Amino acid sequence: MFETFRNNAYLDSCSAFDRSIAEQIANRAETTDPQAVVLAGTIAKSAPFDELLNQALHPLRLNTKLEVLASILGEDAPLTGASLAARDLAEAPFWSSYRS
- Is the model more confident about 27 or about 97? 27
pLDDT at 100: 60
Does the pTM of the predicted model rise above 0.85? Answer: no
* Full set of structural domains in the chain with CATH: 2-74 (3.30.420.40)
pLDDT at 14: 56
Residue 48 has pLDDT above 70, yes or no: yes
Q: Which amino acid is at 92?
A: A
CA distance 32 to 47: 27
pLDDT at 87: 93
